[in-house]
Amino acid sequence: MQEASKWPKKLAAAGVIILLISIAVLVSNIDEFEEATDPSHNSLLVLDGSESEEINLSKESSYLLFRLTNTDHNCSIVELATDTDVTIGSPGWVQSPREGKEGDFYYPVGTFIPDESGLHIIENNAEEGEMLWILDETDVEYSIVLTISASCCGIFCGSGLIPLAFILWRNGKRNVGKAGLVMQTADGMLVPIAPADGTMQQRIPTTDEIWRSVHGGEVLNLTVEEPREPEVPAPFADRPDRSGEKSRAIDEVESVEETVSESTSVKSDVSQKGWKSWDEG
């Protein structure tokens, strides 16, 4: 009988372990990650409406502009060395809104990379009270980002392994007990060569048996017979399991004893009769 595969159990166990570990790592590091990415705690510069300030920027870094409302950036950035405006682009789908520690949502409204490193003037052109946060996107502890990313990947992989294990288990359960190899006999019957169930073990026929089955109409007997141990003859003659036509020595002894007992009884009867005849005179 075909045994069920052990892979579904292994995949399910691996999926559960990966999922639990990933969730535990994510929960233990989520607070530190939120603090590291919170614009109110990790920003380079905060400008109120109509304010401007000089700041050193690097062309090796990527910068994000955040506001409390999802509006236009209303910001201008000028490089002092060349007196040129820095192009501000729209944030991508990866640069999603962030929730601060106080529960405020910060929306990314622009992103830019300076053409040259050096001193820049950043001006918030919005009305007073509309704050602008400038955040260095690369100035986040790499280990925290890597840990959170690995945890998210682990949750995704673990969640995928569990249904995969269930699918393999269902397919394997359907295939258990089916013969993996069959042959057609002379009368058109399909005879399983591999074991079809758990009640009988079958063997692979020889070439001669297959030829006699196809050409001679002989029915294949694929039953595997267990070898029997040769019977050892009884060591003693008086054993009850002894069989055969040869006489046993114990039979001869019994016949001799019966003859002796019969002759003794005859002699005793004769002697008793002789004594009575002598006494009676």
Task: Answer whether residue 250 is part of any domain.
Answer: no
Both tokens of residue 84? Answer: 């040129």
Do residues 54 and 188 share a domain? no
Residue 1, pLDDT score? 43
Count the neighbouring beta carbons within 10 Å of the beta carbon of residue 194.
15
163: in domain: yes
> How many Å apart are CA 1 and CA 177, to the nearest integer?
5
Taking 80 as the threshold, does the pLDDT of residue 90 lie above it? Answer: yes
220 vs 163, residue with greater confidence: 163
Structural domain boundaries, residue 153: 7-34+145-174
Same domain? For 127 and 58 the reply is yes
Distances in Å between the Cα of 110 and the Cα atoms of 49, 128, 262 are: 16, 19, 132
Q: Quick one: 72 and 119 in the same domain? A: yes
Q: The domain that contains 71 carries what CATH number?
A: 2.60.120
Kind and range of the H or E run holding 63: strand 63-67
Residue 130 and residue 91 in one domain: yes
Residues 1 and 198: their CA atoms lie apart, in Å, by 5
DSSP 8-state code for residue 247 = P
pLDDT grade for 94, boundaries at 50, 70 and 90: confident
| Residue 182 to residue 80: CA distance in whole angstroms | 85
159 shares its domain with 30: yes
Identify whether residues 84 and 215 lie together within a single domain. no
- Quote the CA–CA distance of 180 and 196 in Å, as a whole number: 8
Residues 201, 66, single domain; the answer is: no
Query: In this structure, is residue 242 part of a structural domain?
Result: no
DSSP SS3 for 78: strand
- Lowest-pLDDT range of 8-22, 101-115, 138-152, 172-186: 172-186
In a domain, 93, yes or no: yes
Mean pLDDT of 137-163: 81
| 160-177: average pLDDT | 77
Q: Which of 200, 180, 175, 177 is nearest to 190 (CA)?
A: 180
What pLDDT does 182 receive? 63
Residue 249 belongs to a domain: no
- Domain end, chosen from 174, 195, 220, is at 174
Same domain assignment for residues 94 and 116: yes
| Residues 170 and 182 reside in one and the same domain | no
The 10s digit of each residue's pLDDT in 5-44 is 678 888 888 888 999 998 988 888 877 777 777 888 888 8
β-strand pairing of 105-112 with 63-67: antiparallel
| 184 and 209 part of one domain | yes
Task: Report yes or no on 131 lying in a domain.
Answer: yes
The answer on pLDDT for 117 being more than 50 is yes
CB of 196 closer than 8 Å to CB of 202: yes
The domain total for the chain is 3
Residues 30 and 149 occupy one common structural domain: yes
- Any bridge partners for residue 65, and if so which? 110, 134
Residue 157 falls within a domain, yes or no?
A: yes
Whether 258 is covered by a domain: the verdict is no
| Same domain (yes/no): 212, 160 | no
